[in-house]
Structure 1
Amino acid sequence: MSTGHTQLEIPPSGPHGQAAPPTRAPRKRRSILELLILPRVQVAVTVLLDVLAASVSVAIARYWEAATTVAPYHGVAVLPWLFVPILIALLAGRGMYRPQLLRNFLDELHPVEASVALAACGLLVPMLVFTENYMVGEFVLRCWLCAAVLVPAVRLIRAVLQRYLRRRFRSAAPTLVIGDGPISHQLMDHLQQLPEYGMRPIGLLDDPGAGSGDHLPELLRVDVPRLGTPADLADVVRATAATNLVVSFCPLPDSELIAVVRTAQRLGMRVWVVPRLFDAVGARARVEHVGGLPLMALPDIDPRGWQFTVKHTMDRTVAAVALLAISPVFLTLALLVRLSSPGPIFFRQRRVGRDGRSFDCLKFRSMRPPRPSDEQFELRAGSAPGGVEGVDRRTRIGKFMRQTSLDELPQLVNVLRGEMSLVGPRPERPEFVELFEMQIRRYGERHRVKAGVTGWAQVHGLRGQTSIASRAEWDNYYIENWSLWLDVKILALTVLAVLRRSED
Structure 2
Amino acid sequence: MIRGKERFITQLYMATDFVFIQISFFVAWYFRFVINKEQQGSYLPLTDYFIWNIVYSVAFLAIGFLIGLYVPKRKMKFAQEISKIVQVQIYSMFVLLSVLFIAKTIDISRMFIVIYLLAGFLIIVTYRFLVKFFLRAMRKKGFNQQFVLILGAGSIGKRYIENLENHPEYGLSVIGFLDDFKKINSKQKILGRIEELPTILENKIIDEVVIALPLNVFSKYHQIILACEKAGVRVSIVPDFYDILPATPHFERFGDLPVINVRDIPLDEYVNRVLKRIFDIVFAFCAIIFISPMLLLIAIGVKLTSPGPILFKQERVGLNRRTFYMYKFRSMKHMAVEASNTQWTVENDPRRTKFGTFLRKTSLDEFPQFFNVLKGDMSIVGPRPERPYFVDQFKEDIPKYMIKHHVRPGITGWAQVCGLRGDTSIVERIEHDIQYIENWTLLFDIRIIFKTIINGFVNKNAY
Question: Contact (CA 8 Å) 2:21, 2:120: kept in 1 or not?
Answer: yes
Gaps of 5+ in 2: 266-315, 328-358, 365-396, 399-415, 453-463
**Secondary structure, aligned partner of 2:141:** helix
Query: Residue 49 of structure 1: CA displacement?
Result: 3.2
Gaps of 5+ in 1: 1-31, 215-221, 323-354, 357-410, 421-446, 457-476, 496-504
Residue number in structure 2 paired with 1:70: 40
Question: Contact (CA 8 Å) 2:250, 2:262: kept in 1 or not?
Answer: yes
Query: Residue 448 of structure 1: CA displacement?
Result: 3.3
**Secondary structure, aligned partner of 1:176:** strand
Gap change, CA 1:493 and 1:240, over 3 Å in 2: farther
Identity within the alignment, %:
18
| Correspondence 1:10-89 to 2 at 5 A | 32=1, 35-36=2-3, 38-67=5-34, 68=36, 69-71=39-41, 72-74=43-45, 75-76=47-48, 77-89=50-62
| Distance in 1 (alpha carbons) for counterparts of 2:450 and 2:228 | 37
- Larger RCO: 1 or 2 (CA < 8 Å, sep 6+): 1
- For residues 3-48 of structure 1, the C-alpha deviation after alignment (integer angstroms, 9 at most, x for no partner) is xxxxxxxxxxxxxxxxxxxxxxxxxxxxx2xx25643244234323
> Aligned letter for 1:144?
L
Gap change, CA 1:225 and 1:113, over 3 Å in 2: same
> Aligned letter for 1:418?
D
Alignment length, in residue pairs? 314
> Residue 298 in 1 paired to residue 246 in 2?
no
| Distance in 2 (alpha carbons) for counterparts of 1:212 and 1:250 | 18
Residue number in structure 1 paired with 2:140: 167
> Aligned letter for 1:154?
Y
Gap change, CA 1:288 and 1:298, over 3 Å in 2: same
| Distance in 1 (alpha carbons) for counterparts of 2:215 and 2:196 | 16
| Correspondence 1:381-420 to 2 at 5 A | 415-419=420-424
> Residue 247 in 1 paired to residue 220 in 2?
no
| Distance in 1 (alpha carbons) for counterparts of 2:197 and 2:71 | 26
| Correspondence 1:25-424 to 2 at 5 A | 32=1, 35-36=2-3, 38-67=5-34, 68=36, 69-71=39-41, 72-74=43-45, 75-76=47-48, 77-127=50-100, 129-130=102-103, 134-207=107-180, 210-211=181-182, 223-250=187-214, 253-282=217-246, 285-289=249-253, 292-299=256-263, 306=318, 320=362, 415-419=420-424
Gap change, CA 1:489 and 1:277, over 3 Å in 2: farther
Query: Residue 201 of structure 1: CA displacement?
Result: 0.7
Query: Residue 265 of structure 1: CA displacement?
Result: 2.1
| Distance in 1 (alpha carbons) for counterparts of 2:418 and 2:133 | 35
- For residues 106-129 of structure 1, the C-alpha deviation after alignment (integer angstroms, 9 at most, x for no partner) is 222223112212222322343455
Gap change, CA 1:449 and 1:490, over 3 Å in 2: farther
| Distance in 2 (alpha carbons) for counterparts of 1:154 and 1:269 | 31
**Secondary structure, aligned partner of 2:139:** helix
RMSD: 4.5
Question: Contact (CA 8 Å) 1:104, 1:159: kept in 2 or not?
Answer: no
4+ residue runs of structure 1 moved beyond 6 angstroms? 307-310, 411-414, 484-487, 489-495
> Aligned letter for 2:130?
I
Normalised by the length of structure 1, the TM-score is 0.52
| Distance in 2 (alpha carbons) for counterparts of 1:487 and 1:318 | 26
The structure where helix makes up a greater share of residues is 2
Query: Residue 241 of structure 1: CA displacement?
Result: 0.6
